[in-house]
Structure 1
Amino acid sequence: MSEGVAQLKHEGSQRQVAVAGAIAGLVSRFVIAPLDVIKIRLQLQIHSLSDPLSHSSINGPVYKGTLGTLKHILREEGLTGLWKGNIPAEAMYLAYGSAQFSAYTYISHLLETIPPPYALPNAAVSFVSGAAAGAAATTATYPLDLLRTRFAAQGTDRVYTSLLESIRHIAKHEGATGFFRGWGAGISQIVPYMGLFFASYETLKPVMANSPLPLAFGTSDAAAGVLASVLSKSAVYPLDTIRKRLQVQGPMRSRYVHRNIPMYTGVVSTLSHIWKHEGRRGMYRGLTVSLLKAAPASAVTVWTYERVMGGLLALDEKLAE
């Protein structure tokens, strides 16, 4: 096993891993919140920008690219519009980061106890551990992810007046299953995404650390995180678009910033509808800003995780002395 793989998987206790993962999630979310709002708005936009007739009768905004969406939100909703849904998102990232890294290290340890000749290669251990950790963390935090999406989809007309009111409304009108709309697409996306991300990160991290042009202050971790995120995010992006479309289904669907979101019933029907009416471009709407978001998010997450874990280990050593 390479030194880079061993470092992420074996350093720190479960408690330290949970704390470092939670802090990394909080910091990452705050940094990328505006890009997340822009991405969600673009993903929910169904009309074609190249055909004016397709949106001539639309009562909601028509966003044109990342910069155009940013300008529109700032003009119509102010600076705070870029942080809509940040409270449930921060809660989600806090819980997700902790659950993800805890599950990843725990599952990695279990897989590495498999005796030869059944032992898995390092890349397979990273992939399986990452996929399982992603599925567990996604399921545990999915209601918060759904609330984040719905608040980010609100324009000047507020659909929900508060986080508590949104929870009450969904529970009353949609039931418990309403909090898990699009969960199937979420799991279908996160399993290959996290598997590819951790496998790529564990492979790229020692390469970056031993680069002929050394990256100072731990930025080799960030660089590995950026590359791993771009590769994995691009591979599974259509499923993320499907998840977002399904998350805003329900009785309030016509009140979001995009008034013409179609009614979808499942992953397959959503995929078919987008492909038929919007084509390949519809599946990848918002990919540019998604990559702009995913790259720094992963970089900040792994950089913060490594720094916090280093601080916790140093503190333990100091207390032990």
Structure 2
Amino acid sequence: MSRIERLKDEGTRSQVVVSGAVAGLVSRFCIAPLDVVKIRLQLQVHSLSDPLSCDGIKGPTYKGVFHTLTTIRRQEGIRALWKGNIPAELLYVCYGGCQFVAYRSISQLQAQSPVRLPPSAESFISGAAAGSVATTITYPLDLLRTRFAAQGTEKVYAGILAALRDIKEHEGVRGFFRGCSAANGQIIPYMGLFFSSYELFHQYIGGKTLPFSSGDAVAGVMASVFSKTAVFPLDLMRKRLQVQGPTRSRYIHSNIPEYRGVIRGLAQIVRREGLRGWYRGLTVSLLKTAPASAITMYVYERTLHLMMHDRQDHELWELYDPYHDESDD
């Protein structure tokens, strides 16, 4: 491959890792309070619309995004809106890097295959596989994020290290992967649908179609809303499984039922809370996921573009520098 041809690739592996990590970090910082609200609503099994479900409940009853935000701020302080932010930041950085590297690598493998699938199918496979790999690798951080966000004024864990020791001692290594099956059951169709729909939306509205390069962000929003709604019940089940174990009754919602498995858990929610129970927190989830995905894809595209642009400028300078000797390479 010539030096000019190398300028046409889609970024080196290190550039993809850095771009994905930066995108995850920025995205998490912007949507942290909405993430806490989403988790609290997903873990709430009682509702103001059903007074009987509130009997004997010690914890707060949330209703709506803004009510939950103000209730948390009033009862626990403004810092409570960033509970679990440290493991969440680590999660988003690691997940972003793993996800984009896996997506790029799997896409390149498919491109080298003698049998090619339609572009939408290849995007689905790459997205689903990348999401599964990244989810499994970073899952313990996701579990810690959920448990810290579910804490009320009573501290279940004093800190990250204390949580790690406590879970290892009382729940074993498997305790770090509670709900992982639901996570993969959710992330595979979610990421497959997200990347395939993102490629489709990006084809028509991405790039220079909209001003200020906002097409990438709009495509990310549309793709995330579509895919998140499709798999939301599995996301809710994942959150409720993550707080199972010996500390289940010590979180802000002390009446979280005991669930045994994804399918039986979903059926139990329908029996007790109705079909609407599968979609607790969907509104805030969409409010959170849409800007998070938009910010992620926008920052990723811009960061990768800037890094590649700097690299191209450097290589072009070397290529046309009369004092540059090719034998030095």
TM range (shorter): over 0.9
State how far apart, in whole Å, the 2-side matches of 1:140 and 1:49 are: 38
Given the two structures, how large is their TM-score scaled by the length of structure 1? 0.94
Cα 1:156/1:183, change in 2 over 3 Å? same
Aligned to 1:312: 307
Aligned to 1:147: 144
Aligned to 1:200: 197
Aligned to 1:300: 295
Aligned to 2:35: 36
Letter in 2 for 1:183: C
How many Å apart are 1:48 and its aligned residue?
3.0
Aligned to 2:173: 176
Cα deviation digits, residues 60-115 of structure 1 (max 9, x gap): 01001111101100101111111000000000101000000000010001011122
Q: Structure 2: where are the runs of 5+ without partners?
A: 1-7, 318-329
1:60 aligns with 2:59: yes
State how far apart, in whole Å, the 2-side matches of 1:54 and 1:15 are: 52
Give the 5 Å matches for 1:247-266: 247-266=242-261
Q: Is the 8 A contact 1:24 1:304 kept in 2?
A: yes
State how far apart, in whole Å, the 2-side matches of 1:10 and 1:298 are: 24
Cα deviation digits, residues 165-200 of structure 1 (max 9, x gap): 000000000000000000000000000000000000
Cα deviation digits, residues 259-280 of structure 1 (max 9, x gap): 1001112111211110110111
Aligned to 2:153: 156
Give the 5 Å matches for 1:199-278: 199-209=196-206, 214-278=209-273
How many Å apart are 1:15 and its aligned residue?
1.1
1:97 aligns with 2:96: yes
How many Å apart are 1:318 and its aligned residue?
2.6
How many Å apart are 1:10 and its aligned residue?
5.1
Letter in 1 for 2:193: L
Indicate the SS of the match to 1:217: helix
Aligned to 1:72: 71
Aligned to 2:188: 191
State how far apart, in whole Å, the 2-side matches of 1:28 and 1:91 are: 12
Cα deviation digits, residues 25-63 of structure 1 (max 9, x gap): 000011111100000000000013212121031000100
CA RMSD of aligned residues (A): 1.2
Aligned to 2:120: 123
1:281 aligns with 2:276: yes
Given the two structures, how large is their TM-score scaled by the length of structure 2? 0.92
Q: Is the 8 A contact 2:103 2:126 kept in 1?
A: yes
Indicate the SS of the match to 1:319: helix
How many Å apart are 1:210 and its aligned residue?
7.2
Letter in 1 for 2:204: V
State how far apart, in whole Å, the 1-side matches of 2:127 and 2:139 are: 17
State how far apart, in whole Å, the 2-side matches of 1:157 and 1:177 are: 25
State how far apart, in whole Å, the 2-side matches of 1:241 and 1:233 are: 11
Number of aligned residue pairs: give it.
Answer: 309
State how far apart, in whole Å, the 2-side matches of 1:210 and 1:193 are: 24
Q: Is the 8 A contact 1:112 1:120 kept in 2?
A: no
Q: Is the 8 A contact 1:29 1:89 kept in 2?
A: yes
Letter in 2 for 1:93: Y
State how far apart, in whole Å, the 1-side matches of 2:129 and 2:36 are: 27
State how far apart, in whole Å, the 1-side matches of 2:193 and 2:245 are: 33
Cα 1:69/1:303, change in 2 over 3 Å? same
Q: Percent identity?
A: 60
Q: Structure 1: where are the runs of 5+ without partners?
A: 1-8
Stretches of 4+ moved more than 2 A in 1? none
